[in-house]
Chains A and B, each alone.
Chain A
């Protein structure tokens, strides 16, 4: 059963989510797969380690136009007679996977979190409060993989790299500018997140949150009220109406844990909650808890993090 995997490798190094997607495609097919990508990244041979036999790359294409990328994916899918098209469930994947599915009249499993069991594929629904098993009945399946759902393989092989020779046409979407975020780790990719809420009392008190995050190599996040009051930027808001994240470790300080907030963080592997209210609902979803005042607890956490860094 032929499987292809579409990944976005425009950055300097191959993103972890892309290595996960190639691994997923490889394990799904049980043999080498064809990876499809675009742009000018070097070192694509290394995708062989994750199970790609061949990489087809559209060189010189740095587009954000989902129609061009859809043509690229559909061309390679048709060339390989692909029965499975695996994508990443990120911004690029979201602009391409639904289009590919509509073009191929294929069932699309968006945000898969595991390999199929039989013909059923598991994904999160109700904002992480439940899972569903989806059955696709079309000849071709499109599967978008949720980041952090599978451990990347590490083999020895290298992939052959081929240039895509088709014509993708003219872009209809132009990228005018990329405004770089400040320093710090982008929240969606962070493995550790330090998040804070109204319990911090005001934006001027975020210093210790940022310091703890820096010491732990973590990204910073916040609750909805904090973003709505403009204490922190909107892109830091995690929750049902902000962004959903799946870090290994989520440390929540001064956040009560309303169900809407939990919907954005309940996929975290380990949750630690610091709140002065012992009845805060967040403790029910937590692995570790401290009942205490944020302003008294934070210096102790910072001191312990410095000690940990000094030892390791």
Chain B
């Protein structure tokens, strides 16, 4: 089974969020970058588990400039067989999806996995766009994925329950919590990652149809009204009569 995992680079979950150039770009100074947790913990690890169970290969693909390579090596250290970097800065979701689709087309991937969204742009867009461009079925927000032969069984949490879906491969799936457990790379994996192939491919033609014009930070929270523990019941009254939310 040939598995392709979409990997994004994002700021560490604890990174300071600040903007420069008149609030038009994210301030990367001092920021440590990581593999997007949904891509890594859920999509990549489930891809590796399926490969270990069924044979095959796991390739990662990232749209980004050379500064994403340390992050890509991390995905290799966790166990991907090879990585691909499409050499262009990501600007908007459609452009990224078109790059990935141009690379993946005719390569015969049975399964394309991605995290349900990135923790920086939170768009939940690229995997669905890739599916459309490759004319493949797509299940977003999956919490469970099993493959038997050419049939995938996918579960996802929806309002009021869990949907169980059945789809024939090839297929695109976005992964949410529950799909797999995080794997910590060991020393052998980290050493092996240094010599695994990281192929750089040139960018294809792509559309640019959306762009972030500027960023802003949310207004600061007002002060927190403290209630003495012995009068805790007052909280319920305040939520009702003052905040009017219960």
By a beta-carbon cutoff of 8 Å, the part of chain A in contact with chain B is 15, 64-67, 70, 89-91, 94-99, 101-103, 105-111, 120, 123-138, 172-181, 186, 188-189, 191-192, 216, 227, 234-235, 237, 240-243, 248-249, 251, 259-260, 263, 266, 269-270, 272-274, 283-293, 296-297, 300-301, 303-305, 307-308, 312
Contacts and interface: CB of A to CB of B under 8 A. Distances in A.
A131 B127 CA distance: 22
A235 B157 contact: yes
Interface stretch (B54-62, B70-78, B129-137, B189-197): B129-137
Interface of A is mostly: mixed
B11 to A, nearest CB: 8
Given A67-B137, A249-B243, A134 B210 contact: yes
B35 to A, nearest CB: 13
A108 B125 contact: yes
Interface string B187-216: 000000000000000000001111111111
A177 to B, nearest CB: 4
27 contacts: A15-B159, A91-B158, A98-B128, A98-B132, A99-B131, A101-B125, A108-B93, A130-B216, A132-B215, A133-B212, A138-B207, A172-B137, A173-B139, A174-B167, A177-B164, A186-B160, A241-B177, A242-B177, A243-B177, A273-B224, A285-B221, A288-B239, A289-B224, A290-B227, A290-B232, A292-B229, A305-B236
A269 B121 CA distance: 22
A106 to B, nearest CB: 6
B152 to A, nearest CB: 10
A81 B225 CA distance: 52
Nearest to B120: A126
B37 interface: yes
Contact of A108 (B19, B41, B94): B94
B32 to A, nearest CB: 14
A308 B210 contact: no
A291 B125 CA distance: 41
Contacts of A300: 231-233
B115 to A, nearest CB: 9
The list of the 6 closest CB pairs from A to B, nearest first, reads: A292-B229, A98-B128, A304-B233, A107-B210, A304-B236, A249-B245
A255 B81 CA distance: 39
A82 B11 CA distance: 37
Contacts of B174: 94
Contact of A98 (B38, B126, B213, B243): B126
Given A98-B97, A108-B93, 20 more contacts: A99-B131, A106-B209, A108-B94, A125-B122, A125-B215, A126-B11, A127-B122, A130-B217, A131-B217, A132-B213, A133-B213, A173-B167, A180-B161, A235-B143, A274-B232, A288-B224, A290-B226, A292-B232, A301-B232, A304-B234
Interface string B21-43: 00000000000000001100100
A273 B221 CA distance: 14
B140 interface: yes
Interface size class of B (residues with CB under 8 A): 35 or more
A94 B97 CA distance: 15
B237 interface: yes
A84 B154 CA distance: 32
A292 B226 CA distance: 11
Interface of B: 11, 13-14, 17, 19, 37-38, 41, 92-94, 97, 119-129, 131-133, 135, 137-141, 143, 153, 156-168, 174, 176-178, 207-218, 221-222, 224-229, 231-240, 243, 245-246
Contacts of B38: 241
Contact of B225 (A66, A138, A289): A289
Contacts of B128: 66, 94-99, 102
A103 B239 CA distance: 46
A286 B246 contact: no
Contacts of A260: 13-14
Given A130-B216, A249-B243, A304-B235, A283 B224 contact: yes
Contacts of B210: 107-109, 134-138
B221 A284 contact: yes
A130 B17 contact: yes
A70 B132 CA distance: 9
Contacts of A125: 120-122, 212, 215
B138 A66 contact: yes
